[in-house]
Amino acid sequence: MSRHQTRKTSAQDIFFLFSGIIAASFGLKSFLIPNHFLDGGVIGMSLLAHEVLDWNLGLILLLFNLPFIIIGYRMMGGGYAIRTAIAVIGVTLCLQYLHFPELVHDKVLVAAFGGFFLGLGIGLSMRGGSTFDGIEVLALFTRKKTGFTITEIILGINILIFTVAAFYLNIETALYAMLTYFVASQTTRYVIDGIEAYTGVTIISGQSDLIREALVMKMNKGVTIYKGERGFLKDSYEISNDCDIVFTVITRLEVRRLKNIILRIDPSAFIFTHTIKEASGGILKEIVKH
């Protein structure tokens, strides 16, 4: 990577990191904290401790994330640990010293928009190479010890948080916490995966030459060809034919157009897609903003 690209990447990381700090702090101080709402993850545990014990939220968030910063240092290196420490300290300082207005008190709006801005902040900070909610680090560490998947571990931790909230506070608070967490997690996922909204498409067809030509000439896409075999049906298992398997990368908005082009060439073509979280290089075009 050239020095110019390195500086550009570093500037982007800093922008994402500080944007995430501001967005999350806004979601907490303008929506969740004034209305005594909870979330999942480490932030949820911090909010729960704040409500039950009446401790300073910024200090709790810092203390709860400290073990995960240490684990992150051991598992992912010093750069990640430093950026995460900056993110956590940044949120702590914003909660302590910055003033954000209380905007709404309707519970559904609080859950929706509080979760949105919190999830936006977490997602932006993760795009900057850090996080101020260490539950993913805990799940990654625990997975190696237990064999459970990251999703199962995070789900178990959040169920515990919501159960404690229902017991010490009330069931309504726990249910709204679940709604807040759902909105936040979906927003985080979109910020991380949805900005680079690329889709990988694999096509298996007897008309692979025509399909390849259509993708290149009509859609201006790069293609990769894999050599494979097709056939192996139940009634004719011994019969198979060599074929070219076509792979290309498109944006989500182009999926329908691509399928229409392929099906006009070969209505029986086998097509499957999968999400690509990060893509660069080649002849990828700038994403259509949506």
Mean pLDDT of each 10-residue bin along the chain, 290 residues long:
56 86 92 87 85 84 84 77 87 88 89 92 83 69 62 77 84 88 86 70 88 88 84 70 85 80 88 72 46
DSSP 289: P
Q: Which of 226, 273, 265 is nearest to 245 (CA)?
A: 226
Q: Which of 175, 179, 246 is nearest to 215 (CA)?
A: 246
**Domains in the chain: boundaries:** 3-194, 198-276
Q: What is the pLDDT of residue 130?
A: 77
Q: What is the pLDDT of residue 138?
A: 67
Integer angstrom CA distances of residue 258 from 105, 255, 275, 287: 46, 5, 15, 16
| Inter-residue contact 62 to 107 (CB < 8 Å) | no
Within 13 Å and on the Cβ side, how many CA atoms surround 76?
20
Does pTM top 0.75 for this prediction?
A: no
Q: What is the pLDDT of residue 250?
A: 83
| Residues whose CB is less than 8 angstroms from the CB of residue 105 and which lie 6 or more positions away in sequence, other chains included | 34, 35
Q: Kindly report the CATH number that applies to the domain delimited by 198-276.
A: 3.30.70.60
